[in-house]
Amino acid sequence: MQFGSEFVYLRDHPDESEESVDEDEEVRAFSKRRNSGQDDGKTCMLDILDTAGQEEFSAMRDQYMRTGNAFILIFDVTSRGSLDQAGSIYEWLLKIKGADHVPAADGNVVLVSLSCLENETTVMPRAPPSCAECNAVLSHLSKIINGENGQPGGWHCHFCNTRNDGIEEKDIPTEGTVEYVLAPADTPTDDPSGASPGVIPGAQGVVVLCVDVSGSMGVTTRVPQLQAEWKAMRDKKAGKEYVTRLECMTTAITRHLERLELDTPDRQVAIVTFQSQVQLFGDGRYPPTDVTGDTLISYDGLISTGRHLAEKFELQPIKDSLGTLKEKVCDLSAGGTTALGPALAVCAGVVADKPRSEIILCTDGAANVGVGDVKKDPGFYKKNVALEQVSAAAATSGGTVNILHPLELVRQIRQIAQNNLVATDVRVTLMVHPALLVERNDQERKDGEVSHRIEVDVGNATKSTDMTFSIRQRASNIDTNMAAFPAQAQISFTRKDGARCLRVITMETKATQNREDMEKNLNIAVTGLAAVQKTSALAEGGKNDHAKVHLQNVERLLARGSVGDSQKEEHYIFLEENRELAKELSEQRRGPQTGASADQRFKNLYKKKHASVEQFLGGKKKGKAVKGRITDKKLNQQYYDYEYQPEEEE
């Protein structure tokens, strides 16, 4: 857990502090440096319409204001009346544009990185002692009350100051991060089915490859000339000028299967394909089972079918089924419509009773058969991918979404495999002092939902799952004399071995009413990540103008707070990472996007909303993160073998 600054900033007037319209000299100088030499080559036309103040032009004036992106107010420096008129025009502009006063940005954010669940920490011997009033867990910050005459002691909650009795010395944490085992791990057995000794059968879950084989997957893509010649030199049979989407997909899936066989040889894999119907191949040892007819329009029926087929097919570990799986994948052919919704429902049924499972959906089109049919959309045939629908499914299950050029599929599936699952059934509870309020940055806030405690059902957590929260002071009843405020993250999760655990992280941060103290001690990467996640959530919710203003305000904050070399480096990274996002927000004002452009917008917003803090780290910090990664020599060699495999004789 990290804070956006070394200080929680307490405003003198929480409801009145607003971002100043005029930037100070430092920010103006920075903006000048940033914008110099970045001419986009477009011609700017200055259109002057002199209405002489006539009322009949008022409607035209308002229309100009609504569609304008920038305004220049000119007044006579020798005339007070001219300045007053310019001020009136400014107020009118705000009214016409529907501008809201947005509070000045600050570093009051908290980052909870779920990659920490992969690391071992101190395990406490008994159940977590929690406060009877607010459910905060006993921590190293709690005030301990020693017991008398052999009686158990107690503790004062560091959040609500409630006294709690009945603790022993071994219950008291001595560090900020501890873990409690709520339920023991499953017992490993030597399974006669072929699993490796000591491995829990099915504990790693099932990987279901849900592959689109509809007619559109037969569309070809031109292979770049250099790549085609390179392939021809490697393989006499290669060097094709065009490849289909399905050929790219089968190559990517084959590489992924080979990686799984090395990385997790005991994991089970099943293949599901869909076009006008859904077919389940299992691990390739059985004839395919078809799902057709009325079943395609019944969600419950599809889930039930998936469950039944999961029981019917006994999946072998991939170390034994790799050959048959690759054979089935290579035999796939394209044709028919797109029963995407039914296929996803069947896959959900297959993994319903198998925790820690994954569904990898590979498609290029929108659902137009069975449940999830989007035929009623009049612009359907102009769309490339129904990413809005697919991203909702991914967000619900803790997955990811990517739109890729067909030739990039191998690389992307390899990246997905590298982003390992660290825990399942994850639930995060973040508590701050009752004088503060906390809210999520990756979704819009609804009225009445803000408190000093927030709970989030995450589902599956990977190495890159980073969650940010904003904290702010209550409008009243706050003791501004408090030197520090505590925060506690309670993360309940299921480990890979099946154990149910609770990770408790407790920290405190200093408080200040001096904005300069907060800004000079900013954690640029954390504050930047929080800004990106919140901006993306606002834009997804249709609040494009609010999102743009928020991003600009944070950009000003980071410019002022970039004092040290590492801060300046991370600020530059923040600007570069968000160049496309800022452009996206500006272009959206011209009107809603459709077709492939809309899909690209959803992709960009989805990726930013689920960004990782590692993207915003400076070189030194990022170097430490990279060194901490565990690499497998066999996997590395497998990858290089793809690149440099020798030419085979026919």
| Least confident stretch, 100-104, 163-167, 479-483 | 100-104
Where are the domains positioned within the chain?
20-35+47-101, 125-172, 524-627
The overall pTM is greater than 0.85: no
The answer to whether the CB of 291 falls within 8 A of the CB of 348 is no
CA dist 307 and 328 (Å) reads 22
Closest CA to 469 of 7, 14, 108: 108
Closest CA to 509 of 110, 172, 104: 110
CA 383 to chain centre: 24
The answer to whether the CB of 108 falls within 8 A of the CB of 8 is yes
Query: Tell me, what's the pLDDT at 492?
Result: 94
Separation of first and last alpha carbons in the chain? 58
110's CB contacts (< 8 A; 6+ apart) are 1, 2, 3, 4, 430, 432, 438, 468, 469, 471, 487, 489
Over residues 63-92, the pLDDT tens digits come to: 677 677 778 888 888 888 888 888 878 777
The beta strands (E) that lie in 217-277 are given as: 220-222, 242-244, 268-274
- Chain position carrying tokens 């799984």: 260
Report which secondary-structure segment, H or E, holds 279: strand 278-282
Over residues 197-221, the pLDDT tens digits come to: 434 444 567 888 888 888 888 877 6
Neighbours of 208 (CB within 10 A): 27
Give the residue with greater pLDDT, 117 vs 392.
117
Backbone phi, psi, residue 426, to 5°: -85, 135
Give the residue with greater pLDDT, 191 vs 619.
619
CA dist 547 and 569 (Å) reads 24
The answer to whether the CB of 316 falls within 8 A of the CB of 283 is yes
The type of residue at 203 is A
Percent of residues, the chain, with pLDDT higher than 90:
14
The type of residue at 182 is L
Q: How confident is the model at residue 600 (pLDDT cuts 50, 70, 90)?
A: low
Q: Is the pLDDT of residue 175 over 80?
A: yes
Q: How confident is the model at residue 3 (pLDDT cuts 50, 70, 90)?
A: very high
Give the residue with greater pLDDT, 411 vs 222.
222
DSSP string, 185-227: PPPP---TTSPPTTPPTTTT-EEEEEEE-SGGGG-EEEPPHHH
